[in-house]
Amino acid sequence: MKLVIIAGPPSAGKTAVTRQIIRHFLEKKKSAFLKIDVVRAFEDEELSTEFGIPARKIYSGDLCPDHTGVMVLKDALVWAEGEGADIFIIESAGLCLRCSPYVTQSLGIVVLSAVSGMNSPLKMGPMIALADVAVITKTDLVSQSEKEVFREKTKEVAPAIDIIETNAIQGTGLRYLMRSIDELADIANKDTIVLRGVPPLGVCTICVGKREIGWQNHFGVIRKLDGADELFRGD
């Protein structure tokens, strides 16, 4: 079974890209789909109805969606294998720009919107840097010069990343992506799958329930408005 993990900021076109992948392989390979979101999601129901594939979702709630994906991945792989899937597609909400959901033995796809601003790739860090392929959507809505600048900003974050420009609704320009998935090796051993990058080390006291404002009321990893020298308070 092949593992494909799709991430990207909200409204970039992740589900549109997912639809194109499922549609392309519908007659050749069976897909299974998992959506990881925070509060509400409907993509699993829509894709299951549209394509007749096994699909489900999980809400991360108080957890980061990418962390949730790591926690449930082993069980999710067992589920997808039990459904007889040839391709398992996981779509993460992509809300935490300091994290990334990509793991070893998978194809990591980041979906970016060309209308999100020329500097937006520079703000996403590991979500782009650890991906294999960047799919830039809505390229029909920007000029050629804007496309070139967006491409260069993406390459600045991840020089070796493969870039595909598309109108994901119509599926134009996605042949390379489909070939990359087709050539992707099956999972060799799910027990050896690990995150590609090092996750953020900092968990602050707000993460665990403290509500007071001001760094003076917190400890552990902190931030101050003026200067970032004092990053830790043990008291």
pLDDT winner (highest mean) among 16-25, 63-72, 89-98, 116-125: 16-25
83 vs 60: CA distance, rounded Å? 23
Q: What is the pLDDT of residue 95?
A: 72
CATH number for the domain harbouring residue 26: 3.40.50.300
Same domain, 102 and 209: no
**Domain's final residue, options 158, 175, 192:** 192
- Claim to verify: residue 13 and residue 121 sit in the same structural domain: yes
Shared-domain flag, residues 223 and 112: no
**Nearest 10 degrees: Cα torsion 123, 176, 84, 69:** -10
What pLDDT does residue 57 have?
A: 93
Sequence length of the chain is 235
Looking at residue 66, its pLDDT comes to 84
Based on the fold, state whether residues 173 and 106 are members of the same structural domain: yes
Claim to verify: residue 179 and residue 229 sit in the same structural domain: no
- Summary mean pLDDT of the chain: 89
**Burial state string for 89-99 with b = 16 or more CB within 10 A and e = fewer than 16:** bbbbbbebeeb
**DSSP classification of residue 71:** H
With a cut of 90, say whether residue 224 has pLDDT above it: no
**Same structural domain, 207 and 121:** no
Which residue, among 57, 125, 59, has the nearest Cα to 90 in the 3D structure?
A: 57
Residue 13, phi then psi, degrees to nearest 5? 115, 25
The pTM of the full predicted model, rounded to 2 decimals, is: 0.90
Strand 2-7 to strand 220-221: parallel, antiparallel, or no bridges (unpaired)?
Answer: unpaired
Residues 205 and 183 placed together within one structural domain of the fold: no
Q: Please tell me whether residues 219 and 178 are part of one structural domain.
A: no
Q: Are 142 and 150 in contact (CB under 8 A)?
A: yes
Q: In 10 A of CB 49, how many CB atoms?
A: 10
- Asked if 110 and 205 sit in the same domain, the reply is no
Least confident of 7-11, 16-20, 175-179: 7-11
At residue 227 the predicted structure's pLDDT band, cuts being 50, 70 and 90, is: low
- Domain residues for the domain of 234 are 201-235
**For the chain, how many structural domains are there in total?**
2
Distance of CA 201 to the CA centre of its chain: 20
Task: Give residue 221's pLDDT.
Answer: 74
Q: Span 93-114, mean pLDDT? A: 88
- pLDDT tens digits for 135-165? 999 998 999 999 999 999 999 999 999 999 9
Find tokens 């493969």 and name the residue.
Answer: 162
Rg (CA), the chain: 19
pLDDT range class, residue 232, cuts 50, 70, 90: low
Concatenate the DSSP letters of all residues of 30-57 into one string: -EEEEEEESS---HHHHHHHHH---EEE
For residue 152, the tally of other CB atoms under 10 A from its CB is 12
Average confidence (pLDDT) over 118-122 = 92
82 and 138 share one domain: yes
Q: What is the pLDDT of residue 147?
A: 93
Q: What is the pLDDT of residues 10-45, one digit of tens each?
A: 889 999 999 999 999 999 999 999 999 888 889 999
232 shares its domain with 185: no
pLDDT of residue 234: 53
Contacts of 234 (CB under 8 A, 6+ apart): 219
